[in-house]
Amino acid sequence: MEIAQDHNRRVWDERARQGLLHTRTARDDEFDDPLKAINGRGWIDGELAGKHVLCLAGGGGLQAPLYAAAGAMVTVVDISPEMLEQDRRVARERALELQTIATSMDDLPMLANASFDIVTQPVSTCYVPSLAKVYDEIARVLRVGGQYLSQHKQPANLQAAPTPFPSGYAVTEDYYAKGPVPPMHGEFEHREKGALEFVHRWEEIVGGLCRSGFVIEDLAEPKHGDPAAEPGTFRHRSQYIPPYVAIKARRTATPPLGQAATAGIVIP
Ligand SMILES: C[S@@+](CC[C@H](N)C(=O)[O-])C[C@H]1O[C@@H](n2cnc3c(N)ncnc32)[C@H](O)[C@@H]1O
């Protein structure tokens, strides 16, 4: 069976070519105050000038050029060459420097240990089967004290039907499934048409961070719901199921639980 990353690379390349949702580049008004544009929650530590930032699965010409415009030294990793081409185009137009790398978020051997101050990741972990592999790679490339700022699809977002049944939204997908949820064939804003996506349980999203050597400093559920929205729309469904979770985490000096155990360190 074809692996998810090859399939999703083609899906995202095509989305970028067609200019579909989640492929827009940064706007002029965002470049007027790039730090404000990328730091809506106020989670970024201090200034970005001189900091090494990894935009993980963050291609498309939105986040990475804004981080670079705010003074950071930016590397952007994405599986989709078309999404990365948009970053290079925006960088050229704005005379910004960016390093682009086409690889999967769970396979970063080209990046050195402890080489980043911040790893930022928009909604994208749903495209890989193992979240633990992604977290372990991020923990490796982040310096101790560095920030990991991420968004993820909530499990119920991927488990529930897109349309009301007859009111509310039925949970139709297994919470413990190992494989991807069935691809969507229509356009629904909470899913990307044709993409292979995996439900990650709360225990994996939050517990997995702790096990990979992070502490969680804040957690937010961005509000997309609207009680007045038409049933079956993204905004209506989001009133029942918040689609995303945003997490502010920090790499600690404490070894992850598994490593501490093998190193003979006793954790009370
Ligand atoms: C929702 S977009 C996020 C970036 C976009 N600029 C945004 O803010 O909406 C998800 C990104 O994840 C990328 N992606 C999908 N699978 C990936 C993988 N295995 N490794 C790295 N990137 C991946 C896609 O190519 C796409 O650029």
Predicted local confidence at residue 197, as pLDDT: 96
Best residue among 79, 121, 125 to mutate for probing ligand 1, ranked by most atoms within 8 Å of CB: 79
DSSP for residue 219: E
Predicted local confidence at residue 188, as pLDDT: 84
How far apart CA 72 and CA 140 sit, in angstroms, is: 20
How far apart CA 219 and CA 149 sit, in angstroms, is: 10
Q: For the chain, give every domain's residue range.
A: 4-153+200-224+243-254
Q: What pLDDT digit, counting tens, does each position of 32-88 carry?
A: 999 999 999 999 999 999 999 999 999 999 999 999 999 999 999 999 999 999 999
Predicted local confidence at residue 117, as pLDDT: 98
Let me know if 234 is exposed, middle or buried by CB neighbors in 10 A (0-12, 13-18, 19+).
middle
Please name the CATH architecture into which domain 4-153+200-224+243-254 falls.
3-Layer(aba) Sandwich (3.40)
Output the residue whose Cα is nearest ligand 1's atom 16: 127
Are the C-beta atoms of 137 and 121 separated by less than 8 Å? no
How far apart CA 75 and CA 37 sit, in angstroms, is: 18
Q: What is the mean pLDDT of residues 175-180?
A: 94
pLDDT above 80: residue 119 = yes
Q: What is the mean pLDDT of residues 173-200?
A: 90
Of all residues in the chain, the percent with pLDDT exceeding 90 is 85
Q: What is the mean pLDDT of residues 4-13?
A: 97
Predicted local confidence at residue 255, as pLDDT: 63
Q: What pLDDT digit, counting tens, does each position of 226-237 carry?
A: 999 999 899 999
pLDDT band at 268 (very low <50, low <70, confident <90, very high): very low
Contacts of 195 (CB under 8 A, 6+ apart): 7, 8, 11, 12, 127, 183, 184
For the whole model, what pTM was predicted?
0.94
Output the residue whose Cα is nearest ligand 1's atom 17: 79
The CA 28 to ligand 1 mean position distance, Å, reads 22
57 lines ligand 1 (CB under 6 A): yes
Q: What is the mean pLDDT of residues 182-201?
A: 88
pLDDT above 90: residue 189 = no
67 lines ligand 1 (CB under 6 A): no
Predicted local confidence at residue 166, as pLDDT: 84
Residue 93: Cβ within 10 Å count:
11
The CA 242 to ligand 1 mean position distance, Å, reads 20
22 lines ligand 1 (CB under 6 A): yes
Contacts of 242 (CB under 8 A, 6+ apart): 154, 157, 221, 222, 223, 224, 225
Of all residues in the chain, the percent with pLDDT exceeding 70 is 94
